[in-house]
């Protein structure tokens, strides 16, 4: 049994080649939910959905989010209708009072659907509608995700990191904003003073997550701050990782990042934006997979390969390096 920690696009790209190296029946993915938002009354779970869509064979692999070939009729009509009604199409984060007066699973994540600032496909929207409806009926996010995994015929287990709400909030010099507003609406441009995982102090990993963390764990080439950080903020998770075997894949080549806002976020958290900084962020890691061009000395067992992932073959190569790293530290 092997567990992947997933957030953003790094780990899903890695998972694309995992079935060639590991038996899918032995794989569990624990996905970040700090990026989740409620938009127009629907709960959107980007990191869960990327895994659902990738393993379900419908992911748009050009963008690495959303469903391939999806239409956006409802999204376009909603934006057009909003503009004709006199509203702008930027993000409309609800007031602090309204952040906590709705369903508990939406706390600190609530945006109005007016002007819909995120592009939501029509088939994608159906997933969010079903998820939100099941949650409203009283099902947990774990139970709901399991039903969606069945609907997409997944051959692996997928778990949200918690059934409790956690929201990644970016503190800028001018305001505090949800990560999706920072990244989608503002393109990651605002200066960052701090990153907050709001609600983490009241959130717990589920029993299913803690059980999965007892198996060898692979941290994919994800953003250490906003993709993996929310999971590490949960009580008991760092301790569980310290007790098991962990292999982490670097998203850097030295201090060069493949994609995304990780460098800016790490620097804001006073962590070097580099492979060395990634290793510092994961003191529980027993071994690493880094790029063969990376000169960084980590002082822990390391396997090197070309860690660029642009195809299924690339993914399989990196997953094979991960299996070698697990063997190196006695976990395979």
Q: Are strands 110-111 and 42-44 parallel, antiparallel or unpaired?
A: unpaired
Tell me, what's the pLDDT at 311?
87
**Residue 131 in this model has a pLDDT that exceeds 70:** yes
Question: For 302-330, what is each residue's pLDDT tens digit?
Answer: 999 999 888 889 999 999 999 999 999 87
Question: For 158-190, what is each residue's pLDDT tens digit?
Answer: 999 999 999 999 999 999 999 999 999 999 999
Tell whether 80 is in a known binding site: no
Tell me, what's the pLDDT at 259?
63
Residue 196 CB coordination number (10 Å): 14
Fold of the CATH domain 1-331: Rossmann fold (3.40.50)
- With 0-12 / 13-18 / 19 or more C-beta atoms within 10 angstroms meaning exposed / middle / buried, residue 166 is buried
Question: For 209-230, what is each residue's pLDDT tens digit?
Answer: 999 999 999 999 988 999 999 9
Region 98-120: mean pLDDT is 94
Domain ranges of the chain: 1-331
Tell me, what's the pLDDT at 160?
98
Q: How far apart are CA 78 and CA 120, in angstroms?
A: 11
Question: For 4-40, what is each residue's pLDDT tens digit?
Answer: 999 988 899 998 888 889 999 999 999 999 999 999 9
């Amino acid at each position: 049994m092997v567990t992947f920690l997933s957030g953003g696009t790094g780990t899903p790209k890695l998972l694309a080649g995992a079935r060639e190296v590991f038996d899918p029946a032995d794989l569990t993915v624990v996905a970040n939910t700090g990026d989740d938002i409620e938009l127009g009354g629907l709960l959107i779970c980007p990191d869960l959905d990327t895994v659902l869509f990738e393993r379900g064979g419908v992911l748009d692999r050009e963008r690495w989010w959303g469903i391939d070939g999806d239409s956006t009729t409802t999204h376009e009509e909603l934006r057009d209708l909003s503009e004709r009604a006199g509203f702008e199409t930027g993000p409309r984060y609800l007031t602090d009072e309204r952040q906590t007066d709705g369903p508990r699973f939406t706390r600190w994540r609530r945006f109005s659907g007016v002007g819909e600032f995120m592009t939501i496909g029509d088939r994608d929207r159906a997933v969010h509608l079903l998820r939100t409806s099941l949650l409203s009926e009283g099902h947990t996010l774990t139970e709901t995700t399991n039903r969606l995994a069945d609907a997409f015929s997944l051959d692996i287990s997928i778990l949200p990191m918690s059934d409790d709400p956690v929201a990644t909030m970016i503190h800028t010099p001018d305001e505090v904003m949800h990560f999706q507003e920072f990244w989608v609406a503002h393109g990651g441009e605002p200066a960052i003073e701090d990153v907050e995982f709001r609600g983490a102090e009241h959130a717990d990993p589920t029993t299913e997550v803690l059980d999965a963390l007892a198996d060898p764990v692979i941290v994919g080439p994800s953003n250490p701050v906003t993709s993996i950080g929310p999971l590490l903020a949960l009580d008991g998770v760092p301790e569980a990782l310290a007790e098991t075997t962990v292999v982490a894949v670097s998203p850097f080549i030295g201090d060069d990042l493949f994609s995304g806002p990780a460098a800016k976020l790490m620097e804001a958290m006073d962590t070097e934006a580099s492979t060395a900084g990634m290793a510092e962020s994961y003191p529980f890691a027993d071994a690493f997979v880094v790029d063969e061009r990376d000169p960084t000395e980590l002082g822990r067992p390391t396997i090197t390969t070309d860690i660029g992932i642009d195809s299924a073959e690339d993914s399989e190569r990196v997953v094979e390096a991960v299996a070698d790293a697990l063997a190196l530290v006695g976990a395979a």
